[in-house]
Amino acid sequence: MSYLVLARKWRPKDFADTVGQEHVLQALINALDSGRLHHAYLFTGTRGVGKTTIARILAKALNCEKGVTSEPCGTCSACTEIDEGRFVDLIEVDAASKTKVDDTRDLLDNVQYAPARGRYKVYLIDEVHMLSRSSFNALLKTLEEPPPHVKFLLATTDPQKLPVTVLSRCLQFNLKRMTPRMITDRLSHICEAEEVETEPAALATLARAADGSMRDALSLLDQAIAYCGGKIEEAQVATMIGTIDRDHVVRLLTLLAGDDARGIIDAVREIDEQFPDYSRLLEDLARDLQRIAVYQVVGACDAEDDMSEEQIAELADALPAADVQLFYQIAVIGRRDLHLAPDPRSGAEMTLLRMLAFRPGSGEAAGSPSGGAAKQQAAEESSRPAPEPAAVQATPAAPGAAAAHEWRDPDWTELVTALGLTGTLRLLASNCAFLRREGNTVHLGLDSRSESLLTRQRKDALAERLTGYFGEQLVVDVTVGAASNETPLQVESRIADERLEEARQTLEADPNVQAMKNMFGAELKTDTIELINPSQSD
C-alpha cells in the first residue's frame, strides 16, 4: 500500500476533530442544528488553516444519509465518498486553473438539475479570487438566486480581490492563523499515534517554522521523520530547516546586554558554521525582544518551550526598556533589508553591531568618539523612540561614595526623580508611596492596580539604587495596597487635575468668552480643554 502523507492522513473528518477556528465552527454547528442554512459561504484565511477542510466537512454535514447534522456519521456512502473525493454531487473547482468565463458557464449549466445522489449539490470553488471579471459576472446571478438544492462553498486567501457584489451575497468566515501552541499540541498528538519519538523542543521548532499553517507543519513533520530517522531531535530539525539553536539567540541577547562587541562577532562566527538562515535568526531575535518588552511592562509573558520565564526575567532586568525597543526596531528593519547586504552573514552581523552603536541616552555612538559616529546616531534618532529625560543620570553613586546623601524621611516624588530611574523600574517606583523606615528596611506601599509591576528583580534593583544614593546598605519591602500617602503618579495626576480645573475657571471668566456666550449663545466645551506642557510649547 502506498504511503499517505500526514497532511492527508490526518485531515479532520468532522468538526470535533478540527483544531482551532472555534468562532467558525460554532456558527456552522448552530446553523446546521437549527436548519438556518445560507446558500453561499465564503471561507477566507492564509494557506493551510483549514478552509477547504471545513468546507468538505460542511458538505458531509449537508449530505449525510442520517440527515442534515453537525455531526456527520462518517460511515455512510455519502460521507465516505466525500472523504475519498468521489462524491458526484460535490463539485470541487480550482479557480486558479479555471479562470475563463466559458469554464464558469460550463460549470453552472448543470446547476438547475437536481443532485444525482445527495441532498444538496455542493459547489466548492477554491481560490475563488482567481476568477476573471467575466467569470464573476456569470456566477453572480446564480449566486444571488440559486435553486434550493444548491450550496456554494467558496474559499480564498485574498478576499480583497473579490467584487463587493459577490461578498455581499455570501456569509463570510475569516479563519485565523494557528498559534504555535496549537500546532505543537497537534503534532505531539499525531506523533504519539504514529509512534514517532520526539523532543518537545523539536516540535516547537517545527510549529514556529510553519508560520501559522497546520498543513505546512504536517509537511515539515513528514520531512523531519524522513530526515531524522528514528527520533525527531531539536538539533537535527534546526539543521534541516536552517534555524538557529535557541541557546545562540539567548547568548546574543546576553552579549547585547553586556555591550560585548567582540563576543557578538565570535558568536556569529560559531553560528555561521551551522549554515544558518540569518533571516530566521533576526526573526527569532525580534520575537524574544518582544517578549522581553512585554515582561518589562506587565511582569509576565507567554513563555514557550524554547525560552523560560526565568531567562526572560534575567534579560528584562539586564536590558533597559529603551534598549529593548530600539533593538527590536533594528532587528525588524535589518531582517527586511537583509537581501540588500553583500551576503546574509554580514547583513546580520551589521544589524547586531548597529544595536551596540546606537544606545538611548548617550551623547555619542558607543565605542566611537568620532564626530562621524555622532552624526550617524543623529540620523538613527528619527527611527527609534526618544529616551526618557532621566536616562542620562541613570547611574547612581556607588555605596559609600562622597556623593552619597544623608538619610531623612524623603519626599518620595522628588526622590524617584533624583534616583534617575528609567523604564519599568521608574513605573514601579512611581506607583509606590513611602511608608516608613525600620532599621535598614525601607517600607513602601504599592497601588494594588499596579501589582503586576512588582517582581523580585525590580524590588532588588530599587534597593540597589537607594543603597547607592544614600551610601548605606538598604533593603526594600513593598506591601501591595498599603499606601495611605499619595504615590508620585497620583500626585502628578492630582496636580494636572487642579491645573485643568483652574484653566477651565479662567476660561469661563474670560470676558471674550462671556461676550460670545451673551451675543451668540455660545457654549464652552470644557471637556476639550487640554494642558500644554511648558517644555513643549517652544
CA 169 to chain centre: 33
What local confidence, expressed as pLDDT, does residue 384 receive?
43
Distances (CA, A) of 67 to 32, 59, 73, 120, 152: 10, 12, 10, 11, 19
pTM score above 0.75: no
484-495 mean pLDDT: 79
Position with higher pLDDT, 349 vs 502: 349
| pLDDT tier for residue 2 given thresholds of 50, 70 and 90 | low
CA atoms within 13 A on the CB side of 391: 16
The answer to whether 394 touches 361, Cβ cutoff 8 Å, is yes
> Mean pLDDT of all residues in the chain?
82
* Beta-carbon contacts of residue 140 (< 8 Å; ≥ 6 apart): 163, 165, 166, 169
| pLDDT tier for residue 56 given thresholds of 50, 70 and 90 | very high
Distances (CA, A) of 96 to 82, 156, 259: 22, 10, 52
Read off the C-alpha cell for 57. 466537512
| pLDDT tier for residue 532 given thresholds of 50, 70 and 90 | low
Distances (CA, A) of 178 to 182, 185, 286, 412, 519: 6, 11, 20, 47, 63
For 174, list phi and psi in degrees, rounded to 5: -95, 115
| pLDDT tier for residue 52 given thresholds of 50, 70 and 90 | very high
What local confidence, expressed as pLDDT, does residue 280 receive?
85
What digits encode the pLDDT tens for the residues 279-336? 888 988 998 999 899 988 888 776 555 567 788 888 888 888 889 999 999 999 999 9
What local confidence, expressed as pLDDT, does residue 307 receive?
66
| pLDDT tier for residue 377 given thresholds of 50, 70 and 90 | very low
Residue 177, pLDDT > 80, answer yes
Pick from 251, 221, 246: nearest CA to 235: 246
Pick from 412, 419, 361, 411: nearest CA to 391: 361
Question: How many whole angstroms separate alpha carbon 376 and alpha carbon 350?
Answer: 14
What local confidence, expressed as pLDDT, does residue 533 receive?
56
Instruction: Write the DSSP string, 61-91.
Output: HHH-TT-S-SS--S-SHHHHHHHTT--TTEE
What local confidence, expressed as pLDDT, does residue 409 receive?
79
What digits encode the pLDDT tens for the residues 413-439? 889 888 888 888 888 898 888 888 998
Read off the C-alpha cell for 430. 512611581
Question: How many whole angstroms separate alpha carbon 263 and alpha carbon 255?
Answer: 6
The answer to whether 42 touches 173, Cβ cutoff 8 Å, is yes
What local confidence, expressed as pLDDT, does residue 482 receive?
62
Q: First vs last Cα of the chain: how many Å apart? A: 80
Q: Which domains does the chain have, with CATH numbers?
A: 6-174 (3.40.50.300), 180-241 (1.10.8.60), 272-381 (1.20.272.10), 393-485 (3.30.300.150), 490-536 (no CATH)
Question: How many whole angstroms separate alpha carbon 194 and alpha carbon 148?
Answer: 43
CA atoms within 13 A on the CB side of 181: 5
CA atoms within 13 A on the CB side of 224: 32
What digits encode the pLDDT tens for the residues 219-249? 999 999 988 887 888 888 877 876 666 778 8
Tell me which of 65-74, 103-112, 467-476 is least confident.
103-112
What local confidence, expressed as pLDDT, does residue 365 receive?
43
What local confidence, expressed as pLDDT, does residue 244 receive?
62
| pLDDT tier for residue 359 given thresholds of 50, 70 and 90 | low
% of the chain residues with pLDDT over 70? 86
Pick from 39, 13, 15: nearest CA to 27: 15
